[in-house]
Structure 1
Amino acid sequence: MPIVQFAPLSSLVQPALWHKLTDLKIDVLKLSDASVPISGSYAAGRSVKDRESGQEISLPCNITVGSESFDSDYSAPHGSVSVAGTLKNFNTIEEFKAADKTAIFNSEAQIVWDTILKTRDTTQLNRFLLITFADLKKYKYYYWFAFPAFVSKPAWEIHDRGWHSAEEELGVDALSAIHVQLTSQSTAFPYFLVRKEPSGGVSIAPVESYETFYASTASENQIIAFLDPSSDPSNPGWPLRNLLTYLRALYPESTSKLRILRWRDTEAPPSPNIPWKSQLGTLSVASTEPTIVDSSSPRPSAVGWEKNPQGKLGPRVADLAPMMDPTRLAAQAVDLNLKLMRWRILPALDLDRISSTRCLLLGAGTLGCYVARALMGWGVRTITFVDSGKVSFSNPVRQPLFEFADCLDGGKPKAECAAASLKKIFPGINATGHTLSIPMPGHPIPPNASSISQAKADVEKLESLIEEHDAVFLLMDSRESRWLPTVIGAAKGKIVLNAALGFDSYLVMRHGARVSSLSTGANGKPHQKLGCYYCNDIVAPADSLTDRTLDQMCTVTRPGIAPIAAATAVELLASLLQHPDRNHAPAPPPNTNASVEANEEEGLSSVLGLVPHQLRGFLGQFKTMPLVGAAYDRCTGCSEIVLQAYEKDGFPMLLQAFNDIKYLETLTGLDKLFEEGESAINDIDWHEEEDDF
């Protein structure tokens, strides 16, 4: 009799699987090469008719895997059966090539054999193995599937009639009855038993019920069935191999000759004129003395590595780069570089907290351009520029978001041009620009209706923008332009970061947040009230732009100062966002020499290190000094008296601050402080010593 030939399984990998593997590798596995569970599914075999010849062409016996294959509650599609498997991803291509594939394969085959002997669970008979190497920089995935199947010795043979129509032997009614019973189950059976009843009907049961289900049934009325992924009329699908091994190992006395039903009718024929597709065949194996199989019995040899498209045993390659959206490629590349930090260096780094932070940059000049580039490096996805100027010919060499063409025809608006440049660099960025003049103290608003209306609209726009963002960077040229966003940011509880430049020095600081007397931080201590940009001054912001020479109107600095200050400001934000108290993070003492562990215990640091209040850098000495400035209760920018006046009166209060240079000093009591100081000086009795010569 002819030896039974089996149609091998082949893999059908949906591209989404590789995207899911990418996430798994970056966020979960990292440097681990531990095996992880994976699932797949297969369905009844299908064929297509060749239009020219009219012949039926069998489609491959596919096991399908996709993004959902990693889900713990994986459920196979309707009419399909689920298959459990193991995925092992290697860290390098060299490890992938040099892996002991025989040992890995035998380990998976042993799982199937142990299942047969210990649990008799047929759902584990079709396990598969997938070994991979994910080249995440080039989006290439090297992979090799194996479908372990045991070799029968002696081989199974098929009787002379071969595989023939089940409809001819069992009849339409019997097949219909089987179909009804199978579809009434919540899940499809990979294998099942069929019993012909004396009444002429049929019953089905799981293969695990073999002994009890066939206890009093004649062998001619017993049929072993399986969902056949093969539509080849001559060769049954690969899953039959392990089913035959299962039956011979557990029931050797009664399974040397079996009637096998290749079930392929997961859907009944739509009309009586269309025949059922399932087939029957009688298989037998050379009868030997039945051998008792137990847990100590050796495992049969197994085969099952999948061949590549060249018909050889070897891995395959999935190259997703050509078919991926370039924007998505860029986004994944940005995230990859950041997520690699968490593999060895900072496992606790919360990248989502940084990338989801909406940043408002007030000023699109040298500082604004460098701050934006550094924010993009951290994966920040929302960056908004505000500026009132246009790109000039002196800008492109110092401000990296502009080029020569942006200066022509009077220059493009800086804010909008900077946002457009960010999108050219990374299309996935949500970048916008707003041309807006920020009203300032010491710069009176003309007393006509249109000017006041425009100033009010500018204030409302700025308030709206600050409300919509999480962090505000003050990157303007003048001292007084920082006052209004300082007040609004403090009132709305936003993170406010300030960067200011000198010729060879710079200041980077975070403004302190409002605190209540009862609020405490993660360390259990009361929140520290830190100062803002104006807390160290005892004068209100005034006009610093009028009557300035050319070198005073331009920001004259050493070229390296701006990128250093901008990068420092962004890194300060990143550290602040990682601190459990965020905007209320306490500032470390200026000269702290405590260990990293001690700083963590005191709540002074985040996973990125210390979170200073102020940093003053001196490029002449290549020196950076961390400083702490306490909040000043008469501050013209963040004191409660100013914030409450703003919250109570709104624009009228602001308008008064713009127009009246003495208003803020009077509001905060600085005028009385000046008077007290003058009085104290006048009360001093100065004595001039006579010259001895």
Structure 2
Amino acid sequence: MPIVQFAPFTSLVQPSFWHELTRLKIDVLKLSDDAVPIRGSYTTGRSVVDRESGQEIALGCNLSVGSESFEKDHKHDRLGSAHASGTVKNYNTIEDFKAADKTALFNGEADKIWNQIVTTRDTSLLTHFLLITFADLKKYKYYYWFAFPAFVSKPAWEIDEAGWTSASTEYTPEALASIYTQHRNIDAPSFFLVRSSGAEVTVGTVESLEEFYSQTPDSPITVGFIDPSANPTNPGWPLRNLLAYLHALYPTKTHSVRVLCWRDAEIPSTGNWKSKFGTVSVPNTESVEGATTKPSAVGWEKNPQGKLGPRVADLAPMMDPTRLANQAVDLNLKLMRWRILPSLDLEKVSSTRCLLLGAGTLGCYVARTLMAWGVRKITLLDNSRVSFSNPVRQPLFEFEDCLNGGKPKAQCAADSLKRIYPGIDATGVSLSIPMPGHPIPAASLEQTKEDVKKLEKLIDEHDAIFLLMDSRESRWLPTVIGASKNKIVLNAALGFDTFLVMRHGPRSSSQPEKNPKLGCYFCNDIVAPSDSLTDRTLDQMCTVTRPGLASIASSTAVELLASLLQHPDGLYAAAPPPGQDLSNLSGDEYSSVLGVVPHQLRGFLAQFRNLPIVGAAFDGCTGCSETVLKEYETKGFDMLLQAFNDQKYLEKLSGLDKLYEEGQKALETVDWDEEDGEGDDF
């Protein structure tokens, strides 16, 4: 009799599978090449009719994997579809992939199947597969090779002279419909048993074979399986291991087996059943000794050229560029967690909403560095336009942005961020920040009030506020609002070859007692901020600084934010005390996973040196003292308007005027030595 020929599985990999494998590799596996359990699925065999010849053409015997293949829970199988267990092993390099001991891997998976057959009689591993991969995450190329282990029968199974016939020649339409209905209510539905008693049929599980036929011992054994093949003469690959299972466990009962190849996803309305039926047998089965000895197995998939070898999936040409960017943009950050910083909380950084006050040199560099850290919400605020001197120093602008009077800086910078990475949520706001010592004309009062209200709303909607302006007094209002709302506020200011980067301390009333109260930008001043912009020469109006200084200061400010966000205390993180050795603070209360979290950094480019400084909060500060904050919270815009219009108001409110008077009186009481003589040699 003819030997049974089985239609082998062909892998069908959905693009979503590679996306999920990429995520798993970056976020979970990292450098591990441990095997991971997955699952695939297959359906009843399908065919199409050739329009010209009218012949029915069988489609491939496909096993599909997708993003859902990594899910542990899945819906119960139904007649017409089935799940296959699998193992995926992803290698770190293409060299490891090529050099992998594929024979050992294959035999290991075959052993799993066989051991489960002979020890538990469970059929859940009969359809099992192995997938080895290498994911080139930079080029979005995936090298992969499937294996579907199936045991070789010696001697081979043969099909009787009738061959594979329509199931409707063996069963009535009513019996087939009954099989379909009963099958929905059994466990492990990939394989099942069928028992006939007259016109009645009963369906059971393969695991219960002896009990299922105990009352009808003379009944021939009939097994059914969901057949992924549509070939009229070749049943699908799952039948191989099912027959091996039966012959290993019931050698005397299964020298001849009736097989129902189930190929109907639903009950046909026309009565034209696609399922096939046949009887297969193994000759020379008198000797059953060694039936439980594991036979050899085959099953590596051939590549499109018909040779045993891996396949390649190149997703880059077919992927949406925006989606490519979404997956690739944070690759560097996630790689940091593989070896260097496993405990780095990237989500805490990426979810931080950042408001940048100033879209000039500092603002452009801060925005770029925030993007590199994975921050996705950036709002820029500025009231000026791009000028011809900007593009060479401010990396978010180009020459065309300067034409026709220049584009508004904030919106232009936001648009540039979106061109760099479309997934960024970048917004530009054109707004002028009112300043102390700059009186508000009556005609501008309502506009100023609206500007203040808008600034308050923006600060309220963001988590971290960067003060990146080019004047001292422009930093006062956001300092007050930020302190009132207890926001993270970071300052960056430039000199010719020096810079200051600092974080404002939290509001004094909310600061834990154990930590010294850290000051803000104005805590070291004994005079209130006032007009420093009027009557200035060109070099005084522009920030004249060494070209490399802005990028250093900006990066330092962003890195300070990242370290602060990683610290367990966040905004309330204590600063290392003066004189503390900062070279060995790992695991200290002053450090995060990224290192120390200083209060202030003074950079000296001429000496290529950074100096950490701690500045205590000042009770008489015009920016963050409780007196000023409570006055602002009580009187609102009226208090701010008074500060804008009256240069002495803040000094009186905070008590700086009395401090100044006391200082003058103290100087007057000093008995200066005015004796004649040569004096000191100064």
TM over 0.5: yes
Count of matched residue pairs: 678
**Structure 1 residues 217-226 or 139-148, which shifts more?**
217-226
- What pairs with 1:57-76 in structure 2 (closer than 5 Å)? 57-75=57-75
Q: For residue 195 of structure 1, what is the amino acid of its counterpart? A: R
- What pairs with 1:118-157 in structure 2 (closer than 5 Å)? 118-157=119-158
CA distance in 2 between partners of 1:219 and 1:238 (Å): 29
Deviations 1:560-606 (A, max 9, x none): 1111111110110111111111111110123322664x5524x1101
- What pairs with 1:20-59 in structure 2 (closer than 5 Å)? 20-59=20-59
- What pairs with 1:389-400 in structure 2 (closer than 5 Å)? 389-400=384-395
Alignment-derived partner of residue 286 in structure 2: 289
- Give the one of 311, 332, 335 matched to 1:340: 335
Alignment-derived partner of residue 182 in structure 1: 183
Q: 1:692 deviation in Å?
A: 6.7
Deviations 1:399-426 (A, max 9, x none): 1111111111111111111111111111
Any unmatched runs of 5+ in structure 1?
none
Contact 2:508 2:626 in 1 (8 A): no
Paired-residue identity, %: 69
Q: For residue 608 of structure 2, what is the amino acid of its counterpart? A: F
Alignment-derived partner of residue 160 in structure 1: 161
CA distance in 2 between partners of 1:345 and 1:305 (Å): 38
Alignment-derived partner of residue 689 in structure 1: 675
- Give the one of 448, 457, 463 matched to 1:455: 448
2:539 aligned with 1:551: yes
**Structure 1 residues 421-430 or 335-344, which shifts more?**
421-430
- What pairs with 1:554-569 in structure 2 (closer than 5 Å)? 554-569=542-557
Contact 1:196 1:222 in 2 (8 A): no
- What pairs with 1:544-693 in structure 2 (closer than 5 Å)? 544-593=532-581, 596=584, 598-601=585-588, 603-691=589-677
Q: For residue 623 of structure 1, what is the amino acid of its counterpart? A: R
Contact 2:77 2:189 in 1 (8 A): no
Alignment-derived partner of residue 235 in structure 1: 234
Deviations 1:111-159 (A, max 9, x none): 0000001111111101100100000000111111110000000001111
Alignment-derived partner of residue 473 in structure 2: 480
Contact 2:77 2:190 in 1 (8 A): no
Q: TM-score, normalised by structure 1?
A: 0.95
SS of residue paired to 2:587: helix
Contact 1:179 1:266 in 2 (8 A): no
CA distance in 2 between partners of 1:548 and 1:308 (Å): 75
SS of residue paired to 1:340: helix
Alignment-derived partner of residue 460 in structure 2: 467
Q: For residue 60 of structure 2, what is the amino acid of its counterpart? A: P
Q: 1:74 deviation in Å?
A: 2.7
**Structure 1 residues 208-217 or 499-508, which shifts more?**
208-217
Root-mean-square deviation over aligned CA pairs: 1.6
- Give the one of 367, 374, 377 matched to 1:379: 374
Contact 1:166 1:261 in 2 (8 A): yes
CA distance in 2 between partners of 1:70 and 1:169 (Å): 40
Q: For residue 168 of structure 2, what is the amino acid of its counterpart? A: E
SS of residue paired to 2:329: helix
Alignment-derived partner of residue 265 in structure 2: 266
CA distance in 2 between partners of 1:386 and 1:668 (Å): 29
**Structure 1 residues 619-628 or 256-265, which shifts more?**
256-265
CA distance in 1 between partners of 2:657 and 2:290 (Å): 100
User: Structure 2 vs 1, CA of residues 90 and 552 (structure 1 numbering), >3 Å: closer, same or farther?
Assistant: same
CA distance in 1 between partners of 2:388 and 2:324 (Å): 34
User: Structure 2 vs 1, CA of residues 312 and 219 (structure 1 numbering), >3 Å: closer, same or farther?
Assistant: farther
SS of residue paired to 1:124: coil
Contact 1:252 1:290 in 2 (8 A): no
Q: For residue 280 of structure 1, what is the amino acid of its counterpart? A: F
- What pairs with 1:421-460 in structure 2 (closer than 5 Å)? 421-446=416-441, 448=442, 450-460=443-453
CA distance in 2 between partners of 1:19 and 1:682 (Å): 77
Alignment-derived partner of residue 93 in structure 2: 92
Alignment-derived partner of residue 251 in structure 1: 250
CA distance in 2 between partners of 1:124 and 1:508 (Å): 61
SS of residue paired to 1:497: strand
Deviations 1:353-400 (A, max 9, x none): 111111111111111111111111111111111111111111111111
Contact 1:155 1:285 in 2 (8 A): yes
Q: For residue 600 of structure 1, what is the amino acid of its counterpart? A: G
**Structure 1 residues 323-332 or 437-446, which shifts more?**
323-332
Deviations 1:474-518 (A, max 9, x none): 01010000000000111111110000111110100000011447x
Contact 2:582 2:596 in 1 (8 A): no
SS of residue paired to 1:17: helix
Contact 1:259 1:282 in 2 (8 A): yes
Q: 1:289 deviation in Å?
A: 3.3
Alignment-derived partner of residue 357 in structure 2: 362
Q: TM-score, normalised by structure 2?
A: 0.97
Q: For residue 30 of structure 1, what is the amino acid of its counterpart? A: K
SS of residue paired to 2:624: coil
Q: For residue 73 of structure 1, what is the amino acid of its counterpart? A: D
Alignment-derived partner of residue 223 in structure 1: 222
Contact 2:257 2:281 in 1 (8 A): yes
Alignment-derived partner of residue 525 in structure 2: 537
Contact 2:113 2:125 in 1 (8 A): yes
CA distance in 2 between partners of 1:474 and 1:587 (Å): 20
**Structure 1 residues 410-419 or 628-637, which shifts more?**
410-419
Runs of 4+ in 1 over 6 A off after TM superposition: none
